Structure 1
Amino acid sequence: MISTLISLPYELVRRPLVAVSEGFTGRLREDAVPRVYLDKAIGSADRLAGSVLHNRGIAQRGAERLERSAGLAEAATLEREAAEKRDKARTAQTAGKQKADSQREAAQEKLADGLGEAEAVEAQAKRDARTAARKASAEKKAAADREATAKRSVADQRRARADQAASAKEKAAEREAKGELDEARDNQKAAADARQDAERLEELTDAMKAERKQS
Protein backbone atom coordinates (compact mmCIF):
# COMPACT_ATOMS: atom_id res chain seq x y z
CA MET A 1 0.00 0.00 0.00
CA ILE A 2 2.78 2.43 0.96
CA SER A 3 4.72 1.54 -2.20
CA THR A 4 1.61 2.24 -4.30
CA LEU A 5 1.09 5.65 -2.67
CA ILE A 6 4.72 6.59 -3.20
CA SER A 7 4.52 5.55 -6.85
CA LEU A 8 1.29 7.45 -7.55
CA PRO A 9 2.91 10.83 -8.43
CA TYR A 10 5.21 9.09 -10.88
CA GLU A 11 2.29 7.26 -12.48
CA LEU A 12 0.44 10.56 -12.94
CA VAL A 13 3.46 12.16 -14.62
CA ARG A 14 3.98 9.07 -16.76
CA ARG A 15 0.37 8.88 -18.05
CA PRO A 16 0.59 11.65 -20.74
CA LEU A 17 3.74 10.08 -22.22
CA VAL A 18 2.01 6.70 -22.46
CA ALA A 19 -0.98 8.36 -24.17
CA VAL A 20 1.34 9.92 -26.77
CA SER A 21 3.07 6.55 -27.31
CA GLU A 22 -0.27 4.81 -27.85
CA GLY A 23 -1.21 7.52 -30.35
CA PHE A 24 1.95 6.72 -32.33
CA THR A 25 0.96 3.05 -32.56
CA GLY A 26 -1.58 3.50 -35.35
CA ARG A 27 0.28 6.23 -37.24
CA LEU A 28 3.97 5.33 -37.28
CA ARG A 29 6.00 2.26 -38.23
CA GLU A 30 7.34 0.14 -35.39
CA ASP A 31 10.89 1.26 -36.21
CA ALA A 32 10.02 4.95 -36.67
CA VAL A 33 12.47 7.15 -34.75
CA PRO A 34 9.88 9.08 -32.65
CA ARG A 35 8.07 5.90 -31.64
CA VAL A 36 11.25 3.98 -30.77
CA TYR A 37 12.69 6.96 -28.90
CA LEU A 38 9.54 7.48 -26.82
CA ASP A 39 9.22 3.77 -26.02
CA LYS A 40 12.84 3.68 -24.88
CA ALA A 41 12.35 6.85 -22.82
CA ILE A 42 9.26 5.44 -21.05
CA GLY A 43 10.90 2.04 -20.50
CA SER A 44 14.10 3.60 -19.14
CA ALA A 45 12.09 5.94 -16.89
CA ASP A 46 10.05 3.01 -15.53
CA ARG A 47 13.14 0.98 -14.85
CA LEU A 48 14.85 3.89 -13.06
CA ALA A 49 11.72 4.86 -11.13
CA GLY A 50 11.16 1.26 -10.06
CA SER A 51 14.71 1.09 -8.75
CA VAL A 52 14.50 4.42 -6.91
CA LEU A 53 11.03 3.75 -5.49
CA HIS A 54 11.88 0.10 -4.73
CA ASN A 55 8.87 -0.93 -6.80
CA ARG A 56 9.67 -4.17 -8.60
CA GLY A 57 6.50 -3.99 -10.72
CA ILE A 58 7.40 -0.61 -12.24
CA ALA A 59 11.00 -1.70 -12.87
CA GLN A 60 9.82 -4.93 -14.53
CA ARG A 61 7.33 -2.98 -16.65
CA GLY A 62 10.13 -0.75 -17.89
CA ALA A 63 12.37 -3.70 -18.76
CA GLU A 64 9.54 -5.41 -20.64
CA ARG A 65 8.73 -2.24 -22.61
CA LEU A 66 12.37 -1.82 -23.61
CA GLU A 67 12.66 -5.44 -24.71
CA ARG A 68 9.36 -5.40 -26.61
CA SER A 69 10.20 -2.11 -28.34
CA ALA A 70 13.61 -3.41 -29.43
CA GLY A 71 12.09 -6.63 -30.79
CA LEU A 72 9.35 -4.86 -32.77
CA ALA A 73 11.78 -2.30 -34.18
CA GLU A 74 14.18 -5.04 -35.28
CA ALA A 75 11.40 -7.01 -36.94
CA ALA A 76 10.16 -3.94 -38.84
CA THR A 77 13.69 -3.09 -39.97
CA LEU A 78 14.32 -6.63 -41.25
CA GLU A 79 11.00 -6.61 -43.06
CA ARG A 80 11.78 -3.31 -44.78
CA GLU A 81 15.27 -4.49 -45.77
CA ALA A 82 13.82 -7.69 -47.22
CA ALA A 83 11.36 -5.69 -49.33
CA GLU A 84 14.15 -3.42 -50.58
CA LYS A 85 16.33 -6.37 -51.55
CA ARG A 86 13.40 -8.04 -53.28
CA ASP A 87 12.76 -4.90 -55.35
CA LYS A 88 16.46 -4.61 -56.12
CA ALA A 89 16.61 -8.24 -57.28
CA ARG A 90 13.63 -7.75 -59.58
CA THR A 91 15.19 -4.61 -61.04
CA ALA A 92 18.49 -6.42 -61.57
CA GLN A 93 16.71 -9.30 -63.26
CA THR A 94 14.87 -6.97 -65.64
CA ALA A 95 18.03 -4.99 -66.39
CA GLY A 96 20.01 -8.17 -67.01
CA LYS A 97 17.41 -9.51 -69.44
CA GLN A 98 17.26 -6.18 -71.29
CA LYS A 99 21.04 -6.09 -71.53
CA ALA A 100 21.19 -9.66 -72.81
CA ASP A 101 18.48 -8.91 -75.41
CA SER A 102 20.36 -5.79 -76.53
CA GLN A 103 23.60 -7.72 -76.86
CA ARG A 104 21.84 -10.46 -78.80
CA GLU A 105 20.36 -7.93 -81.22
CA ALA A 106 23.76 -6.25 -81.65
CA ALA A 107 25.35 -9.64 -82.33
CA GLN A 108 22.67 -10.48 -84.90
CA GLU A 109 23.18 -7.12 -86.64
CA LYS A 110 26.92 -7.69 -86.69
CA LEU A 111 26.32 -11.17 -88.05
CA ALA A 112 24.04 -9.81 -90.75
CA ASP A 113 26.74 -7.33 -91.75
CA GLY A 114 29.27 -10.14 -91.86
CA LEU A 115 27.01 -12.31 -94.00
CA GLY A 116 26.31 -9.37 -96.31
CA GLU A 117 30.01 -8.75 -96.70
CA ALA A 118 30.63 -12.44 -97.32
CA GLU A 119 27.87 -12.53 -99.94
CA ALA A 120 29.27 -9.41 -101.63
CA VAL A 121 32.72 -10.95 -101.68
CA GLU A 122 31.25 -14.19 -103.01
CA ALA A 123 29.41 -12.37 -105.79
CA GLN A 124 32.51 -10.43 -106.75
CA ALA A 125 34.62 -13.55 -106.66
CA LYS A 126 32.14 -15.32 -108.91
CA ARG A 127 32.12 -12.42 -111.31
CA ASP A 128 35.90 -12.45 -111.34
CA ALA A 129 35.82 -16.20 -111.83
CA ARG A 130 33.45 -15.87 -114.75
CA THR A 131 35.68 -13.20 -116.27
CA ALA A 132 38.69 -15.41 -115.72
CA ALA A 133 36.79 -18.34 -117.16
CA ARG A 134 35.99 -16.33 -120.20
CA LYS A 135 39.70 -15.81 -120.42
CA ALA A 136 40.15 -19.55 -120.18
CA SER A 137 41.20 -19.64 -116.50
CA ALA A 138 39.07 -22.34 -114.89
CA GLU A 139 41.59 -22.70 -112.07
CA LYS A 140 41.08 -19.13 -110.85
CA LYS A 141 37.32 -19.67 -110.72
CA ALA A 142 37.74 -22.70 -108.46
CA ALA A 143 40.05 -20.73 -106.14
CA ALA A 144 37.52 -17.89 -105.89
CA ASP A 145 34.76 -20.35 -104.98
CA ARG A 146 36.92 -21.82 -102.22
CA GLU A 147 37.62 -18.36 -100.85
CA ALA A 148 33.91 -17.52 -100.78
CA THR A 149 33.14 -20.77 -98.93
CA ALA A 150 35.83 -20.04 -96.35
CA LYS A 151 34.46 -16.55 -95.69
CA ARG A 152 30.95 -17.92 -95.23
CA SER A 153 32.30 -20.46 -92.74
CA VAL A 154 33.99 -17.65 -90.77
CA ALA A 155 30.73 -15.70 -90.70
CA ASP A 156 28.85 -18.77 -89.43
CA GLN A 157 31.43 -19.25 -86.68
CA ARG A 158 31.05 -15.61 -85.65
CA ARG A 159 27.31 -16.07 -85.38
CA ALA A 160 27.69 -19.17 -83.20
CA ARG A 161 30.16 -17.42 -80.86
CA ALA A 162 27.94 -14.34 -80.58
CA ASP A 163 24.90 -16.49 -79.70
CA GLN A 164 26.89 -18.41 -77.08
CA ALA A 165 28.22 -15.22 -75.46
CA ALA A 166 24.77 -13.60 -75.31
CA SER A 167 23.24 -16.77 -73.83
CA ALA A 168 25.98 -17.05 -71.19
CA LYS A 169 25.51 -13.43 -70.08
CA GLU A 170 21.74 -13.87 -69.88
CA LYS A 171 22.11 -16.99 -67.72
CA ALA A 172 24.61 -15.20 -65.44
CA ALA A 173 22.18 -12.30 -64.97
CA GLU A 174 19.36 -14.74 -64.13
CA ARG A 175 21.54 -16.57 -61.56
CA GLU A 176 22.49 -13.28 -59.90
CA ALA A 177 18.87 -12.12 -59.76
CA LYS A 178 17.78 -15.49 -58.32
CA GLY A 179 20.42 -15.16 -55.60
CA GLU A 180 19.12 -11.71 -54.67
CA LEU A 181 15.54 -13.03 -54.54
CA ASP A 182 16.59 -15.95 -52.32
CA GLU A 183 18.39 -13.56 -49.97
CA ALA A 184 15.33 -11.28 -49.88
CA ARG A 185 13.10 -14.27 -48.99
CA ASP A 186 15.53 -15.29 -46.21
CA ASN A 187 15.49 -11.77 -44.76
CA GLN A 188 11.71 -11.68 -44.96
CA LYS A 189 11.52 -14.97 -43.06
CA ALA A 190 13.91 -13.60 -40.42
CA ALA A 191 11.70 -10.54 -40.06
CA ALA A 192 8.62 -12.73 -39.63
CA ASP A 193 10.41 -14.85 -37.00
CA ALA A 194 11.50 -11.73 -35.12
CA ARG A 195 7.95 -10.38 -35.19
CA GLN A 196 6.60 -13.70 -33.88
CA ASP A 197 9.17 -13.64 -31.06
CA ALA A 198 8.11 -10.10 -30.16
CA GLU A 199 4.45 -11.09 -30.18
CA ARG A 200 5.12 -14.15 -28.02
CA LEU A 201 7.07 -11.98 -25.60
CA GLU A 202 4.17 -9.53 -25.41
CA GLU A 203 1.71 -12.38 -24.78
CA LEU A 204 3.99 -13.75 -22.04
CA THR A 205 4.24 -10.28 -20.51
CA ASP A 206 0.46 -9.90 -20.50
CA ALA A 207 0.10 -13.32 -18.89
CA MET A 208 2.63 -12.43 -16.19
CA LYS A 209 0.81 -9.15 -15.51
CA ALA A 210 -2.47 -10.98 -15.23
CA GLU A 211 -0.92 -13.51 -12.88
CA ARG A 212 0.53 -10.73 -10.69
CA LYS A 213 -2.86 -9.02 -10.55
CA GLN A 214 -4.56 -12.26 -9.52
CA SER A 215 -1.93 -12.86 -6.83
Structure 2
Amino acid sequence: MLKKIVALPYEIARLPLAAVDHRLAARLDETSAPRVALDRTLGSADKVAGTVLRNRGLVERGAERLERGEKLATAARLEAEAEAKREQAREKAAAGRRKAAAQRKAAQDKAASGLKEADVAEAKGKQQAREDAEKKAAAKKAAADKRAASKAKAAEDQRTKAAAEAEAKKKAAQREAKAEIDDATASKKAADEARADAERLSDLSEAKKDQRTSD
Protein backbone atom coordinates (compact mmCIF):
# COMPACT_ATOMS: atom_id res chain seq x y z
CA MET A 1 0.00 0.00 0.00
CA LEU A 2 2.81 2.39 0.92
CA LYS A 3 4.56 1.70 -2.42
CA LYS A 4 1.38 2.58 -4.31
CA ILE A 5 1.04 5.83 -2.38
CA VAL A 6 4.70 6.76 -3.02
CA ALA A 7 4.37 5.97 -6.73
CA LEU A 8 1.06 7.88 -7.10
CA PRO A 9 2.64 11.29 -7.99
CA TYR A 10 4.70 9.61 -10.70
CA GLU A 11 1.65 7.82 -12.10
CA ILE A 12 -0.22 11.14 -12.22
CA ALA A 13 2.72 12.85 -13.98
CA ARG A 14 2.82 9.94 -16.41
CA LEU A 15 -0.85 10.23 -17.40
CA PRO A 16 -0.32 12.62 -20.39
CA LEU A 17 2.21 10.25 -21.94
CA ALA A 18 -0.09 7.31 -21.26
CA ALA A 19 -2.94 9.16 -23.02
CA VAL A 20 -0.73 9.84 -26.05
CA ASP A 21 0.29 6.19 -26.04
CA HIS A 22 -3.35 5.14 -26.05
CA ARG A 23 -4.19 7.41 -28.99
CA LEU A 24 -1.15 6.28 -31.01
CA ALA A 25 -1.98 2.63 -30.32
CA ALA A 26 -5.34 3.12 -32.02
CA ARG A 27 -3.93 4.95 -35.05
CA LEU A 28 -0.40 3.70 -35.75
CA ASP A 29 1.28 0.35 -36.24
CA GLU A 30 3.19 -0.87 -33.19
CA THR A 31 6.47 -0.85 -35.16
CA SER A 32 6.07 2.75 -36.41
CA ALA A 33 8.71 5.28 -35.38
CA PRO A 34 6.43 7.36 -33.06
CA ARG A 35 5.17 4.21 -31.28
CA VAL A 36 8.68 2.82 -30.88
CA ALA A 37 10.00 6.15 -29.55
CA LEU A 38 7.13 6.50 -27.08
CA ASP A 39 7.53 2.89 -25.91
CA ARG A 40 11.19 3.54 -25.19
CA THR A 41 10.38 6.79 -23.38
CA LEU A 42 7.69 5.22 -21.19
CA GLY A 43 9.71 2.08 -20.56
CA SER A 44 12.81 4.05 -19.55
CA ALA A 45 10.76 6.42 -17.39
CA ASP A 46 9.03 3.54 -15.58
CA LYS A 47 12.32 1.76 -15.03
CA VAL A 48 14.10 4.85 -13.67
CA ALA A 49 11.13 5.86 -11.52
CA GLY A 50 10.79 2.34 -10.16
CA THR A 51 14.48 2.30 -9.28
CA VAL A 52 14.34 5.69 -7.56
CA LEU A 53 11.09 4.90 -5.74
CA ARG A 54 12.22 1.33 -5.02
CA ASN A 55 9.05 0.08 -6.64
CA ARG A 56 9.72 -3.30 -8.21
CA GLY A 57 6.43 -3.24 -10.09
CA LEU A 58 7.41 -0.04 -11.92
CA VAL A 59 10.87 -1.42 -12.70
CA GLU A 60 9.38 -4.63 -14.14
CA ARG A 61 6.79 -2.70 -16.14
CA GLY A 62 9.48 -0.50 -17.65
CA ALA A 63 11.80 -3.42 -18.38
CA GLU A 64 9.00 -5.41 -20.00
CA ARG A 65 7.98 -2.47 -22.18
CA LEU A 66 11.57 -1.89 -23.29
CA GLU A 67 12.10 -5.59 -24.05
CA ARG A 68 8.82 -5.82 -25.97
CA GLY A 69 9.75 -2.73 -28.01
CA GLU A 70 13.15 -4.21 -28.80
CA LYS A 71 11.59 -7.49 -29.99
CA LEU A 72 9.07 -5.65 -32.16
CA ALA A 73 11.86 -3.58 -33.70
CA THR A 74 13.84 -6.76 -34.38
CA ALA A 75 10.80 -8.40 -35.98
CA ALA A 76 10.21 -5.36 -38.22
CA ARG A 77 13.86 -5.31 -39.27
CA LEU A 78 13.88 -9.02 -40.09
CA GLU A 79 10.66 -8.66 -42.11
CA ALA A 80 12.18 -5.78 -44.10
CA GLU A 81 15.34 -7.81 -44.76
CA ALA A 82 13.27 -10.81 -45.88
CA GLU A 83 11.24 -8.68 -48.30
CA ALA A 84 14.43 -7.11 -49.71
CA LYS A 85 15.93 -10.57 -50.28
CA ARG A 86 12.76 -11.80 -51.97
CA GLU A 87 12.77 -8.78 -54.29
CA GLN A 88 16.45 -9.30 -55.04
CA ALA A 89 15.79 -12.97 -55.86
CA ARG A 90 12.92 -12.05 -58.18
CA GLU A 91 15.08 -9.49 -60.00
CA LYS A 92 17.94 -11.97 -60.37
CA ALA A 93 15.62 -14.68 -61.71
CA ALA A 94 14.14 -12.26 -64.25
CA ALA A 95 17.63 -11.14 -65.31
CA GLY A 96 18.66 -14.79 -65.71
CA ARG A 97 15.67 -15.49 -67.94
CA ARG A 98 16.35 -12.42 -70.07
CA LYS A 99 20.01 -13.34 -70.45
CA ALA A 100 19.19 -16.96 -71.38
CA ALA A 101 16.67 -15.78 -73.99
CA ALA A 102 19.21 -13.38 -75.50
CA GLN A 103 21.84 -16.12 -75.64
CA ARG A 104 19.42 -18.53 -77.34
CA LYS A 105 18.52 -15.91 -79.96
CA ALA A 106 22.20 -15.12 -80.57
CA ALA A 107 22.92 -18.83 -81.01
CA GLN A 108 20.03 -19.20 -83.45
CA ASP A 109 21.13 -16.14 -85.44
CA LYS A 110 24.68 -17.42 -85.59
CA ALA A 111 23.54 -20.86 -86.73
CA ALA A 112 21.32 -19.32 -89.42
CA SER A 113 24.24 -17.20 -90.64
CA GLY A 114 26.44 -20.28 -90.82
CA LEU A 115 23.85 -22.18 -92.84
CA LYS A 116 23.52 -19.25 -95.24
CA GLU A 117 27.28 -19.16 -95.72
CA ALA A 118 27.19 -22.90 -96.38
CA ASP A 119 24.51 -22.41 -99.05
CA VAL A 120 26.59 -19.68 -100.71
CA ALA A 121 29.68 -21.87 -100.65
CA GLU A 122 27.74 -24.75 -102.18
CA ALA A 123 26.36 -22.58 -105.01
CA LYS A 124 29.78 -21.14 -105.70
CA GLY A 125 31.32 -24.60 -105.80
CA LYS A 126 28.68 -25.82 -108.24
CA GLN A 127 29.17 -22.77 -110.49
CA GLN A 128 32.91 -23.27 -110.48
CA ALA A 129 32.45 -26.93 -111.35
CA ARG A 130 30.28 -26.07 -114.34
CA GLU A 131 32.85 -23.59 -115.64
CA ASP A 132 35.65 -26.11 -115.42
CA ALA A 133 36.40 -28.68 -117.99
CA GLU A 134 34.12 -31.70 -118.22
CA LYS A 135 36.96 -33.84 -116.98
CA LYS A 136 37.22 -31.95 -113.64
CA ALA A 137 33.53 -31.08 -113.19
CA ALA A 138 32.53 -34.13 -111.12
CA ALA A 139 35.55 -33.89 -108.81
CA LYS A 140 35.13 -30.16 -108.14
CA LYS A 141 31.41 -30.50 -107.53
CA ALA A 142 32.03 -33.30 -105.03
CA ALA A 143 34.61 -31.18 -103.26
CA ALA A 144 32.20 -28.23 -103.08
CA ASP A 145 29.41 -30.43 -101.73
CA LYS A 146 31.77 -31.81 -99.10
CA ARG A 147 32.83 -28.34 -97.98
CA ALA A 148 29.22 -27.18 -97.81
CA ALA A 149 28.21 -30.21 -95.74
CA SER A 150 31.15 -29.66 -93.41
CA LYS A 151 30.24 -25.99 -92.82
CA ALA A 152 26.59 -26.87 -92.28
CA LYS A 153 27.55 -29.49 -89.70
CA ALA A 154 29.92 -27.06 -87.97
CA ALA A 155 27.16 -24.43 -87.86
CA GLU A 156 24.69 -26.94 -86.43
CA ASP A 157 27.22 -28.16 -83.86
CA GLN A 158 27.90 -24.55 -82.83
CA ARG A 159 24.18 -23.83 -82.46
CA THR A 160 23.68 -26.95 -80.35
CA LYS A 161 26.63 -26.07 -78.12
CA ALA A 162 25.48 -22.47 -77.67
CA ALA A 163 21.94 -23.60 -76.81
CA ALA A 164 23.30 -26.07 -74.25
CA GLU A 165 25.46 -23.37 -72.64
CA ALA A 166 22.52 -20.98 -72.50
CA GLU A 167 20.33 -23.65 -70.86
CA ALA A 168 23.04 -24.46 -68.32
CA LYS A 169 23.38 -20.79 -67.39
CA LYS A 170 19.61 -20.49 -67.08
CA LYS A 171 19.47 -23.45 -64.69
CA ALA A 172 22.37 -22.04 -62.66
CA ALA A 173 20.54 -18.71 -62.36
CA GLN A 174 17.37 -20.52 -61.29
CA ARG A 175 19.26 -22.50 -58.65
CA GLU A 176 20.86 -19.33 -57.30
CA ALA A 177 17.49 -17.56 -57.25
CA LYS A 178 15.91 -20.49 -55.42
CA ALA A 179 18.70 -20.43 -52.82
CA GLU A 180 18.10 -16.73 -52.21
CA ILE A 181 14.32 -17.25 -51.97
CA ASP A 182 14.98 -20.04 -49.42
CA ASP A 183 17.21 -17.62 -47.49
CA ALA A 184 14.50 -14.96 -47.62
CA THR A 185 11.94 -17.52 -46.40
CA ALA A 186 14.22 -18.39 -43.47
CA SER A 187 14.54 -14.69 -42.59
CA LYS A 188 10.74 -14.32 -42.74
CA LYS A 189 10.37 -17.31 -40.44
CA ALA A 190 12.83 -15.72 -37.97
CA ALA A 191 10.83 -12.48 -38.16
CA ASP A 192 7.59 -14.35 -37.45
CA GLU A 193 9.19 -16.06 -34.46
CA ALA A 194 10.47 -12.74 -33.12
CA ARG A 195 7.02 -11.18 -33.52
CA ALA A 196 5.45 -14.20 -31.77
CA ASP A 197 7.92 -13.73 -28.88
CA ALA A 198 6.95 -10.07 -28.71
CA GLU A 199 3.25 -10.94 -28.64
CA ARG A 200 3.79 -13.54 -25.92
CA LEU A 201 5.77 -11.00 -23.90
CA SER A 202 2.96 -8.48 -24.42
CA ASP A 203 0.41 -10.99 -23.14
CA LEU A 204 2.62 -11.73 -20.13
CA SER A 205 3.05 -8.02 -19.48
CA GLU A 206 -0.72 -7.49 -19.60
CA ALA A 207 -1.25 -10.43 -17.25
CA LYS A 208 1.29 -9.03 -14.79
CA LYS A 209 -0.29 -5.61 -15.12
CA ASP A 210 -3.71 -7.07 -14.29
CA GLN A 211 -2.20 -8.92 -11.36
CA ARG A 212 -0.56 -5.76 -10.02
CA THR A 213 -3.83 -3.89 -10.44
CA SER A 214 -5.73 -6.56 -8.54
CA ASP A 215 -3.07 -6.42 -5.80
Answer whether TM exceeds 0.5 for this pair: yes
- CA distance in structure 2 between the partners assigned to 1:27 and 1:87 by the alignment: 29
What do you get for the CA RMSD once the two structures are aligned? 1.7
1:189 aligns with 2:165: no
Once the 2 structures are TM-superposed, how far is the Cα of residue 6 of structure 1 from its aligned partner?
2.3
- CA distance in structure 1 between the partners assigned to 2:26 and 2:111 by the alignment: 61
Aligned to 2:173: 173
Aligned to 2:156: 156
Cα gap change, 1:5 to 1:93, in 2 (>3 Å) = same
Aligned to 2:55: 55
Once the 2 structures are TM-superposed, how far is the Cα of residue 212 of structure 1 from its aligned partner?
3.4
Where in structure 2 are there 5+ consecutive unaligned residues? none
- CA distance in structure 2 between the partners assigned to 1:15 and 1:153 by the alignment: 87
Cα gap change, 1:130 to 1:30, in 2 (>3 Å) = farther
Once the 2 structures are TM-superposed, how far is the Cα of residue 27 of structure 1 from its aligned partner?
4.0
Contact 1:46–1:59 under 8 Å retained in 2: yes
Where in structure 1 are there 5+ consecutive unaligned residues? none
Once the 2 structures are TM-superposed, how far is the Cα of residue 18 of structure 1 from its aligned partner?
2.2
- CA distance in structure 2 between the partners assigned to 1:67 and 1:164 by the alignment: 55
Once the 2 structures are TM-superposed, how far is the Cα of residue 23 of structure 1 from its aligned partner?
2.8
Aligned to 2:135: 136
Cα gap change, 1:87 to 1:27, in 2 (>3 Å) = farther
TM-score, normalised by the number of residues in structure 2? 0.91
> 1:61-80 deviations in whole A, cap 9, x for unaligned?
10010011111111122112
Instruction: Give the partner amino acid of 1:66.
Output: L
- CA distance in structure 2 between the partners assigned to 1:96 and 1:208 by the alignment: 54
> 1:76-120 deviations in whole A, cap 9, x for unaligned?
221122122112211221121112111211211121111111111
Aligned to 1:110: 110
Once the 2 structures are TM-superposed, how far is the Cα of residue 199 of structure 1 from its aligned partner?
1.0
Instruction: Give the partner amino acid of 1:202.
Output: S
Once the 2 structures are TM-superposed, how far is the Cα of residue 16 of structure 1 from its aligned partner?
1.4
- Equivalenced residue count is 214
Aligned to 2:210: 210
- CA distance in structure 2 between the partners assigned to 1:33 and 1:184 by the alignment: 24
Aligned to 2:32: 32
- CA distance in structure 2 between the partners assigned to 1:214 and 1:160 by the alignment: 80
- Give the fraction of aligned pairs with identical amino acids, expressed as a percent: 50
- CA distance in structure 2 between the partners assigned to 1:48 and 1:163 by the alignment: 70
- CA distance in structure 1 between the partners assigned to 2:199 and 2:10 by the alignment: 28
Instruction: Give the partner amino acid of 2:111.
Output: L
Question: Mean alpha-carbon deviation: is it higher for 177-186 or for 139-148?
Answer: 139-148
TM-score, normalised by the number of residues in structure 1? 0.91
